[in-house]
Amino acid sequence: MANAFFVVWRESLEAFLIAGILFAWLKANDDSGAGRRALFAGLGAGVLLALALGWALLTAQDELTGEALDIFQTATLIVAAALITQMVLWMRRHGRQIKARLHADLTTAAARSGYLGVAIVAALAVAREGAETVIFLYGLAQGGDLSALIGGSLAGFIAAAATAWLAAKSLARLNIGLLLRLSAILLLILASALLMSASDPPIRADWVPTLIDPVWDSSALIDDGTTGGKLLADFTGYRARPALSTLLVWLGYWTLVIVGYRRTGA
C-alpha cells in the first residue's frame, strides 16, 4: 500500500501541477473560456488514454500463461523501472524549464490549430503521467495485495490533490521543489526494488545463473519473509539471502543512476 500511495502521489502531483500551469496560461490569454473548456476535455482524454493502457496490460496478461506470462511480467517490471529512472533524470535536467516549455507548446498549438491544439497538449501531458502511473502500479501489483494497492492509490491521489492545493495557496510555506527532489530519490529506490523483483523469475527458471547463492544470510536480523521484512523488500529490494547475480543487477542499476545524475546536473 505504501508503495502505491507514494507512486500515485508523486505522479498525480505532477499531473495536477501541469494542469495548473496550463489553466493559469489560458486564464491569462483566453477571455472567451473556450480554451479552458478545451483544456478540461484534453485532461479527460489523457486520463482515458492511461486507462486504455491499463486495460491493454490486463488483457495481454490474461492471454498469457506459464513461461510467456513470466516473461511478460518481468519485462513490465523492467520497463516500469526504466520509466521511473528516465522520468527522474529528465526532471532533474528540465524541471526548471517545464513551465516555459508548456507555455511555448500552448502558444504554438493555439496558433496552429486553435483550441483543438490546446486539448491535444493537455491530453499528451496528462496521458504521459497517467501511463507511467499505470505501468508502475502494474509492476507493483505482481504478487501483491490488490485491495491494498487500490487503497494506497486512492489515498495517494487525494494526498496529491491536497498537496497541489496547498502549493497553490502557498500555505505552510510548502516547498514543492524540495518535495519533488526528495521524492525523486525515493522513486529511484523503488525502481531498484522493481529491478530486483524482475530478476527473481529468470533466476528461478534458471535462465540466469545465480553465480553464488546466497552471498550472505541476514535473515536473523531482518527476514524478508516476515511482514516488516516484506515491506522493506517491496520498497527497497532488500533480500535476506541474495544471489550474486541479483546483487550485480542492483549495483549495475545504481552505477547507471550515479552516472546519469552527474550528466544531468549541468
| Grouped pLDDT means (10 residues each) for the chain, 266 residues | 72 74 70 74 82 79 78 83 80 64 65 67 73 74 68 81 70 60 80 86 84 88 81 81 91 92 75
Q: How far apart are CA 64 and CA 207, in angstroms?
A: 19
Cell of 37: 473548456
Cα dist from 216 to 92, 175, 205, 221, 248, whole Å: 35, 41, 21, 12, 14
pLDDT on residue 112: 64
Question: How is residue 220 written as a grid cell?
Answer: 536473523
For residue 8, how far is the Cα from the chain centroid?
7
- Cα-based distances in Å from 208 to 144, 203, 242: 24, 5, 14
| pTM of the complete model | 0.67
DSSP at 83: H
- Residues contacting residue 23 through CB under 8 Å, at least 6 positions apart: 36, 39
Instruction: Give domain limits for the chain.
Output: 2-204
By CB atoms closer than 10 A (0-12, 13-18, 19+), residue 262 is exposed
Backbone angles phi, psi at 38, to 5 degrees: -65, -35
Helices 146-169 and 2-29 meet at what angle, rounded to 10? 40
Alpha carbon distances (Å) from 162 to 159, 169, 243: 5, 11, 42
| SS3 assignment, position 104 | helix
Burial of 112 (0-12, 13-18, 19+ CB in 10 A): exposed
Residue owning grid cell 521524492: 183
| Residues 25/26/28/31 CA torsion (nearest 10 deg) | 170
Find the helix or strand (DSSP H, E) in which 183 lies.
helix 176-204
